[in-house]
Amino acid sequence: MNSEVDYSQLKIPTHVAIIVDGNGRWAVERGLSRLKGHDAGFDNLRNLVRYIMSRGVKVLSLYVFSTENFKRAKEEVGHLMDLFVLMYRRDLQIFMEDNIKVVFSGRDAPLPKSVIKARDEMAEATKNNTGGIVNFCLNYGGRAEIMDAVKKIVHASVDVDKLTDDDFRHYLYQDLPDIDLMIRTSGELRLSNFLLWQNSYAEFYFPKTKFPDFGAAEFDQAIIEYTSRDRRFGGNTKA
Ligand code: FPP
């Protein structure tokens, strides 16, 4: 993926998060099955991830399957599970070449054993990579993450009176910086239970483009828009 945009003039967010949405509608528009839409999204993902990380982003979180997505048709859920396993075979070498650490956020149950195995092997193989982090949110829910953190804190008998925001972060699925830029493709204007804690001060960007067509040029536009935003974090001076 190439770009005409001069990134030295732009602000680069440390943590970008993307809700990959619109695969199904992309396919239906073309008279294809929804599964073909997920294949097209999957094909787009590798180059897009490489492009985003090559622009200086340090952490990229991707919402690829929510806890609620298990309510979808069995065939669609099964197909997505197959893609997650395929990603391990297809992309591990690329993540190693690019020195990217891959982490996952989400609950185990009811993921199939094959997905848990591929997920854990990918995390283990890339754990010492230092060139950036890609966080796949797989079987993920924001409320579930906060609930799970609270349970860990209670079980660890933490002195809650001394607990700070920063301490709380350590109990989340992954200890990552706050999100700077949150993108949801396909024109939907919802957060859908995505990284509720981490999105507190994120800038939101909602392109109409459906995920399979969201490439380098669309990402450049998001960064141009992000650069123009005035981030005040509740105060009245610029960040
Ligand atoms: C939501 O929108 C998207 C998903 C539930 C799946 C996203 C999956 C991929 C991009 C491919 C696999 C990814 C990996 C990491 C292997 P939707 O596609 O249901 O869109 P719709 O709202 O148009 O139906």
In the chain, where the domains are located? 12-141+178-228
Can you tell me the mean pLDDT for 153-179? 96
Q: Which atom, in ligand 1's list, is nearest to the CA of 86?
A: 16
Phi first, then psi: what are they for 56, rounded to 5°? 105, 5
Point out the residues that are catalytic: 21, 69
Residue 200: both structure tokens together? 């507190």
User: Given this model, what pLDDT does residue 43 score?
Assistant: 97
- Residue 42 in contact with ligand 1 by CB distance below 6 A: yes
Global pTM reads 0.96
Can you tell me the mean pLDDT for 21-32? 98
Mutate to test the pocket of ligand 1, among 20, 61, 138, 214 (most ligand atoms within 8 A of CB): 20
- Residue 87 in contact with ligand 1 by CB distance below 6 A: yes
Q: Alpha helix (H) ranges present in 55-184?
A: 74-97, 113-126, 142-155, 165-169
CATH of domain 12-141+178-228: 3.40.1180.10
What CA–CA distance (Å, rounded) separates 3 from 18? Answer: 19
Can you tell me the mean pLDDT for 141-169? 96
Could you tell me the distance, in angstroms and rounded to a whole number, from the CA of residue 181 to the centre of ligand 1? 20
- Residue 33 in contact with ligand 1 by CB distance below 6 A: no
DSSP letter at 62 equals: E
For 45-103, the pLDDT digits (tens) are 999 999 999 999 999 999 999 999 999 999 999 999 999 999 999 999 999 999 999 99
Neighbours of 202 (CB within 10 A): 20
For 174-202, the pLDDT digits (tens) are 999 999 999 999 999 999 999 999 999 99
pLDDT at 237 over 70: no
